[in-house]
């Protein structure tokens, strides 16, 4: 096997080099290499100091995440890090790129740290449902103030080199080449006669205020990280650093880590880590298909969506031509973009000159002809098929050959839109989520005739603009909105059966959804879904209770936050949602009129009905080939719909429940609720009855 650790001695300084592409993840081979190297260096009297550096784009980006699935092989992290820390001569970490997780922990086992100015130090373990498990919870509070250490570990936000210097995490920052700088630093140590400075021998910084700080953080985590195990375990581990000696603290960290690593929370988050990288690999699409060059993007429509998409592009330094029908629309659109950037400037996350640079990349125009230079044109106008077809016919006339024509439709038939052009192979769905400059998800919809390199280009664009692109095929609502339909249907039905809107939303939020669906409707506008349903009425169930609450609200003009009332009232300066007795009475009257039995579904029933309905639809999407993988659905829902990451997405969640449980749940609802909605998807039935799972099915499909 290829060695990933080597060393060379330069005039008394040993430079240990880690080389394990792509991100120097600390796998078993690397640990074994480090062990062998540090043992070998022990016996070499000419070595006066050691520099530990990495080649490639980054310092160690953490533990090898895959190893948590199989169990951590020997030599373990503690053994290797202890060997480094025990070195009799000073060890200097030379950090460039991103030192993450175990990467930071190695630097803490080194005695000194020198960083490149562009380096960043982060502990993202909580995002994987674990805690730093290679001594990080014990060493970090000994290297930097307890509060800084806790913040780094609880937020996962990386510290830039400059900030790391201020915090005392690094000893020197260089603008120049990192390895020579670290060698220079090591030489100075030798000249000064400075020996090893072992982190474990330092006192915890700020231990005196620890009690109050830890109590406050515990309360904060219980509130902001509901249903999670790892954040509270992390605080327990840090508490151990404060109250116990180093070795005892390390034991506490180890035992907490072992429990967390195999818990559902960590398995779910690892699943998403892989799933979010898997989405870029499209089955059946050759890996060597080159994307088309996208040097300029054209956007049609400067409303909320078009403006947000323009911001995504210019944030990634891609120039934009923004076209709208009237000067007034354009001006309003540009003003909104400026206002959004202005807010970032006020918050300090963007410099004023960066704002101006980005705005300067947007060329507004009233003329479709201005789009002739664009390599990709994204239409972002009102969700109306006739209008979109008209626009695509115009785009076809002006766009240069090979330009990609994208539509931001969230529900419409892209094959129909493509058919009005002479280049259906260049047409694709690019479904951004609102606000487009904030939301992570981009649904990439491959229509029947979309060319493979157009799909590859869309995936590449997603990466450039820092979005998670997920490929879907054409159907009403694609992956995300199609699965929302039955989920929302059940929520709406529950309020007709006697649960209040607040009870429905709170059941979903307690379970972990970022926002209850009825509150989401209020936020987005209850009328949006209602208008779509009116247009598709001929395709919908002939059930008078189907989405009836939304229809009633729209009939009264109570269309959500923009009207000051919807499922809830939004009064007062804060515009917080408060229950609306009039709406509750309206729903009760309607239930009587429709003769709907008042079951008063409790939180568990609400959760099961909404989620099982969603999962069942997901199974249908898999059978129909709309979603390519179960894990793609999980990415769509966690990146775009506020589904809790720690539950892994709807399909992973179904697997954790056991598909038999979901299947039997659906059969039970078939008996007590409207059977037309409770028909198990054939795939779900098949997998449930054979004791399989979506994950297993996916593995078999991709074999
Ligand atoms: C930890 O350290 C626990 C410790 O406390 C010790 C406990 C005992 N492992 O993201 P990319 C793969 S927890 C395995 O596309 P980028 C990735 O799957 C860990 N594989 O690149 C992909 O493979 P493929 C804490 C990893 O440039 C390829 O590398 N660390 C790992 O967009 C390229 O990745 C983290 O959580 C890994 N750790 O971004 C850091 N990292 O090509 C996780 C990456 O087959 N990693 N791969 O699809 C990242 O955040 C990003 O990868 C990084 C680069 C920012 C480094």
My answer on whether 446 and 487 are in the same domain is no
Measured over all CA atoms, what is the biggest interatomic distance in the chain, rounded to whole angstroms?
Answer: 92
DSSP state of 192: H
The answer to whether position 270 is within a domain reads no
**Residue 366 in domain:** yes
> What is the residue range of 173's domain?
5-261
If asked whether residues 465 and 488 sit together in one domain, one would say no
**What's 304's domain CATH number?**
3.40.50.720
Cα(24) to centroid(ligand 1), Å: 9
Residue 178 Cα to ligand 1 middle (Å): 22
Q: Of 428, 448, 474, which residue constitutes the final position of a domain?
A: 474
Same domain, 406 and 445: yes
3-class secondary-structure state, position 419: helix
What pLDDT was estimated at residue 1?
A: 64
Q: Flag whether 553 is in a domain.
A: yes
Tokens 């917080």: give the residue: 576
In a domain, 271, yes or no: no
Q: Is the separation of the CB atoms in 363 and 296 below 8 Å? A: no
Element containing residue 522 per DSSP (H, E): helix 517-524
CB 653 within 8 A of CB 647: yes
For position 540, which CATH number holds? 1.10.1040.50
pLDDT of residue 483: 97
Tens-place pLDDT, residues 441-475: 999 999 999 999 999 999 999 999 999 999 999 99
Q: 598 and 564 in one domain? A: yes
Determine which residue's CA is closest to atom 45 belonging to ligand 1: 277
Unique residue bearing structure tokens 């022990």: 42
Q: Is 125 assigned a catalytic role?
A: yes
Length of the chain, in residues: 703
Task: Classify the C-alpha dihedral 538-544-549-554 as positive or negative.
Answer: positive
Angle in degrees, CA 643, 646, 652, rounded to 5: 75
Residue 236 located in a structural domain: yes
Q: Helices (DSSP H) in 558-629: which residue ranges?
A: 581-594, 603-624
How much is the pLDDT for 320? 98
Cα distance between residue 103 and residue 60, in whole Å: 4
**Residue 535's pLDDT is what?**
87
State whether 195 and 69 are in the same domain: yes
Q: Is there a contact between 259 and 237 (Cβ–Cβ < 8 Å)?
A: no
| Same domain assignment for residues 412 and 427 | yes
Ligand 1: which of 23, 71, 281, 287 to mutate, judged by most atoms within 8 Å of the beta carbon? 23
* Residue 367: inside a domain: yes
Within a domain: 266? no
- Helices 517-524 & 480-496 angle (0-180, nearest 10): 110
One DSSP character per residue, 55-114 reads -SSSS---B-TTHHHH-PPSSPHHHHHHHHHT-SS-EEEEE-SEEETHHHHHHHHSSEEE
Say yes or no: 95 and 161 in one domain: yes
> Cα torsion for 302, 303, 304, 305, to the nearest 10°?
-60
Number of structural domains, the chain?
Answer: 3
Of 208, 236, 261, the residue at which a domain comes to its end is: 261
DSSP state string for 523-556: HH-HHHHHHHHHHTGGGS---TTTTHHHHHHHHT
CATH number at residue 63: 3.90.226.10
Q: 680 in a domain, yes or no?
A: yes
**Closest ligand 1 atom to Cα of 65:** 9
Q: Which residues of the chain have pLDDT under 70?
A: 1
Same domain, 529 and 563: yes
pLDDT, mean over the chain: 96
Q: Are residues 533 and 392 in the same domain?
A: no
- Least Cα distance to 611 among 476, 483, 496 occurs for 483
Tokens of 119: 């380096």
CA distance 601 to 455: 44
Strand 120-122 to 297-300 pairing: unpaired
* pLDDT tens-digit readout, 58-107: 999 999 999 999 999 999 999 999 999 999 999 999 999 999 999 999 99
Distance of alpha carbon 293 from alpha carbon 403, whole angstroms = 9
Same structural domain, 196 and 130: yes
Query: Domain boundary at 451, 474, 497, which?
Result: 474
Mutation test residue for ligand 1: of 65, 250, 280, the one with most atoms within 8 Å of CB? 65
Give me ligand 1 centre to Cα 592, in Å: 56
SS (H, E, C) 351-378: CHHHHHHHHHCEEEECCHHHHHHCCEEE
- Say if strands 404-407 and 376-379 run parallel, antiparallel, or are unpaired: parallel
Q: Are 693 and 572 part of one and the same domain?
A: yes
Question: Given 125, 490, 492, 590, which residue is catalytic?
Answer: 125
Q: State whether the beta carbon of 98 lies less than 6 angstroms from ligand 1.
A: yes
User: pTM surpassing 0.75?
Assistant: yes
**Residues 415 and 516 grouped into a single domain:** no
String of DSSP letters for 660-687: HHHHHHHHHHHHHS-GGG----HHHHHH
Q: Supply 523's token pair.
A: 């936020």
């Amino acid at each position: 096997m290829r060695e990933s650790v080597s060393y060379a001695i330069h005039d008394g300084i040993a430079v240990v080099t880690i080389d394990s592409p792509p991100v120097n993840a600390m796998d078993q081979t690397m640990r074994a290499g480090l062990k062998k190297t540090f043992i070998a260096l022990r016996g070499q009297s000419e070595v006066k100091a050691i520099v530990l550096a990495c080649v490639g784009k980054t310092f160690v980006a953490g533990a090898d995440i895959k190893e948590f699935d199989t169990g951590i092989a020997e030599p373990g992290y503690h053994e290797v890090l202890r060997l480094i820390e025990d070195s009799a001569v000073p060890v200097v970490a030379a950090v460039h790129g991103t030192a993450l997780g175990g990467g930071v922990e190695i630097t803490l086992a080194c005695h000194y740290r020198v960083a490149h100015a562009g380096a960043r130090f982060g502990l993202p373990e909580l995002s994987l449902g674990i805690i730093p498990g290679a001594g990080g919870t014990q060493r970090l509070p000994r290297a930097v103030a307890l509060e800084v250490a806790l913040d780094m570990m609880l937020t996962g936000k990386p510290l830039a080199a400059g900030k790391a210097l201020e915090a005392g995490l690094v000893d020197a920052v260089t603008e120049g080449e990192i390895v020579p700088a670290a060698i220079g630093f090591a030489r100075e140590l030798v000249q000064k006669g400075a020996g090893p400075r072992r982190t474990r021998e330092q006192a915890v910084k700020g231990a005196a205020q620890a009690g109050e700080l830890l109590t406050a953080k515990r309360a904060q985590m219980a509130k902001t990280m509901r249903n999670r195990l790892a954040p509270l375990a992390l605080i327990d581990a840090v508490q151990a650093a404060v109250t116990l000696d180093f070795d005892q603290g390390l034991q506490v960290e180890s035992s907490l880590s072992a429990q967390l690593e195999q818990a559902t929370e960590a398995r779910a988050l690892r699943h998403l880590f892989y799933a979010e990288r898997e989405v870029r690999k499209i089955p059946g699409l050759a890996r060597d298909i080159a994307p088309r060059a996208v040097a300029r993007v054209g956007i049609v429509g400067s409303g909320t969506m078009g403006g947000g998409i323009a911001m995504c592009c210019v944030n990634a330094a891609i120039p934009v031509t923004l076209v709208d029908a009237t000067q007034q629309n354009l001006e309003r659109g540009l003003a909104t973009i400026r206002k959004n950037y202005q807010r970032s400037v006020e918050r300090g996350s963007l410099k004023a000159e960066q704002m101006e640079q980005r705005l300067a990349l947007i060329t507004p125009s009233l003329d479709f002809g201005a789009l002739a230079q664009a390599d990709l044109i994204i239409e972002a106008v009102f969700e109306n098929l006739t209008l979109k077809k008209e626009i695509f016919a115009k785009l076809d006339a002006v766009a240069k050959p090979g330009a990609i024509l994208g539509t931001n439709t969230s529900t419409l038939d892209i094959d129909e839109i493509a058919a009005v052009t002479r280049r259906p192979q260049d047409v694709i769905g690019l479904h951004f989520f609102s606000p487009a400059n904030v939301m992570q998800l981009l649904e990439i919809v491959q229509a029947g005739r979309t060319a493979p390199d157009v799909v590859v280009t869309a995936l590449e664009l997603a990466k450039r603009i820092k979005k998670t692109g997920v490929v879907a095929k054409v159907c009403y609502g694609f992956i995300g909105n199609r699965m929302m339909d039955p989920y929302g249907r059940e929520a709406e039905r529950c309020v007709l059966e006697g649960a209040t809107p607040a009870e429905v939303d709170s059941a979903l939020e307690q379970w972990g959804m970022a926002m209850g669906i009825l509150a989401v409707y209020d936020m987005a506008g209850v009328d949006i879904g209602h208008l779509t349903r009116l247009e598709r009425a001929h395709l919908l169930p002939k059930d008078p209770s189907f989405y009836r609450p939304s229809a009633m609200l729209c009939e009264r003009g109570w269309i959500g936050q923009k009207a000051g009332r919807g499922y809830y009232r939004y009064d007062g300066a804060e515009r917080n949602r408060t229950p609306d007795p009039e709406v509750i009475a309206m729903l009760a009257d309607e239930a009587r009129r429709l003769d709907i039995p008042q079951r008063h579904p409790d939180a568990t029933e609400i959760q099961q009905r909404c989620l099982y309905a969603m999962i069942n639809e997901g199974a249908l999407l898999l059978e129909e080939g709309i979603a390519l993988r179960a894990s793609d659905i999980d990415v769509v829902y966690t990146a775009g719909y506020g589904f809790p990451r720690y539950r892994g997405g709807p399909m992973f969640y179904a697997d954790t429940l056991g598909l038999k449980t979901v299947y039997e749940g659906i059969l039970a609802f078939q008996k007590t609720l409207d059977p037309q909605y409770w028909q198990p998807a054939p795939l779900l039935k098949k997998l449930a009855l054979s004791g399989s799972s979506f994950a297993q099915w996916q593995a078999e499909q991709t074999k």
